[in-house]
Structure 1
Amino acid sequence: MIPPSQVRILEPQPNKKIITVIRQEKKSDKKKIFLLEEDVLGPGRYARPSFRLRESLEHNIKYSKVYCKAQKIIGSVRYFNCKIDNNNGLMLGPLIVDQKFKGRGIGKELVNKSISDIDKKKIDFIILIGEFDYYGQFGFERNHNIYFSLNVRKEKILLKKFSEKDITISGKIELY
């Protein structure tokens, strides 16, 4: 059963209600998300450093979310396990939303919901490769002391810390 806090009812026409839900990704969603990713990001995604870093890894389904409208997946956010020194983290990405629904706040809802569901006792940080202008609103900051095994522009590396202890997160990111 989906908790009422995760259900939103849109009323585009007076007599029709469309139910939207953000829920945890399921294994059975894999193909639908792949097709959505293909449609949204296209073949150019294979050249992006973020894709190349993740391509041989399995994402962490526990924290990955999908946005469904009338039971159709129209958005997704995935997380991958990573470490920097002894700090446990997650790498966010990709965040995708069906082109027909861009600009409606679906990406923001996915990011906010997924971040709120992360176990902050086990996870010290989230990292991503992306645009500060967008991800800054979620508390991500630039961090020039972190690096990947591939060449990534420093201004694109964004970090959100959770740890209550005063930790310094710097060094090479290890995805697993």
Structure 2
Amino acid sequence: MTAKRNTAVALIRETAPFAIRAERASDVVAREALLDACFGDNRHTRTCQRLRDGRAPAEGLSLAAVRQDGRLVGTVRLWHVSAGGRSALMLGPLAVDGDCRGLGVGAALMARALTVAKTRGHGAVILLGDAPYYARYGFSATKTGELLLPGAFERERLLGLELVEGALDSAWGMIVPTGAPLKTRASRARSRKAPLAVPHAA
């Protein structure tokens, strides 16, 4: 029985020479370089970027895939949105280093992201992507036909996945960001320097 367990662990290590963990501040430079390599210099002008600009990702849902040497080889983030009045998460970007494709990095990131999202009580995830690829994770256009994005997009690429049955029922209208504003260095510095409020007598 013990030998059987050891064999299974060895096989997992052999087929998945990477680990999925929470994104760290030290990952930022490598993450940005990976996204540039995967999506090009114009990635900041894409439609879904409008839902991310100036917003913080959903708590616990910024994930990184790293090799044993510590090199970042994959990334995914999810963001709070309102999908036509329905609370949801927007997934993206999902990126994998070209040298590591075929190792299951993308699948592992997706599996962890969806598991964490469900554990944290989120009801639905939406993304803009290739329908045949994301169908394996349960995404479809079944309940996104009446939703819109703030910019040009291909209708068949707007996909949704319900983590809670009925979470996207009657979803209609514009998808808008609802995440917390991103704290910049300047805003953090201002908050540190701000004087303490003195209560006024009534």
Task: State whether TM-score is above 0.5.
Answer: yes
TM-score (norm: length of structure 1)? 0.82
2:62 corresponds to: 64
- Structure 2 residue ranges without an equivalent (≥5): 1-8, 179-202
Structure whose alpha-carbon radius of gyration is higher: 2
Coordinate RMSD, CA, aligned: 2.3
Residue deviations 1:16-40 (CA, integer Å, cap 9, x gap): xx95211111233222211111122
8 A Cα contact 1:147 1:173, kept in partner: yes
Structure 1 unaligned runs (5+)? Answer: 12-17
Do 1:61 and 1:78's aligned partners in 2 also have CA atoms closer than 8 Å?
no
Structure with the larger strand share: 1
Give aligned-pair identity as a percent. Answer: 24
CA displacement at 1:48 relative to structure 2? 2.5
Q: Note if contact 1:58-1:80 (Cα within 8 Å) is conserved in structure 2.
A: yes
- In the superposition, the TM-score normalised over structure 2's length comes to 0.72
Equivalent position SS for 1:117: helix
Q: For residues 103 and 19 of structure 1, do their structure 2 counterparts lie closer, same or farther at Cα, with a shift above 3 Å needed?
A: closer
Partner of 2:136: 137
User: Secondary structure in 1 aligned to 2:92?
Assistant: strand
CA distance in 1, matches of 2:167, 2:51: 28
Question: Quick one: higher RCO (CA 8 Å, sep 6+), 1 or 2?
Answer: 2
Structure 1 residue 128 corresponds to structure 2 residue 127: yes
Q: Which residue of 2 aligns with 1:14?
A: none
Counterparts in 2 of 1:162 and 1:170: CA distance versus 1, 3 Å: farther
Q: Secondary structure at the match of 1:55?
A: coil
Cα separation, partners in 2 of 1:121 and 1:52, compared to 1, 3 Å:
closer
Moved more, 57-66 or 141-150: 57-66
CA contact (8 A) 2:86 2:167 kept: no
CA–CA separation in structure 2 for the residues paired with 1:58 and 1:9: 33
User: How many residues are paired up?
Assistant: 164
Which structure has greater helix proportion? Answer: 2
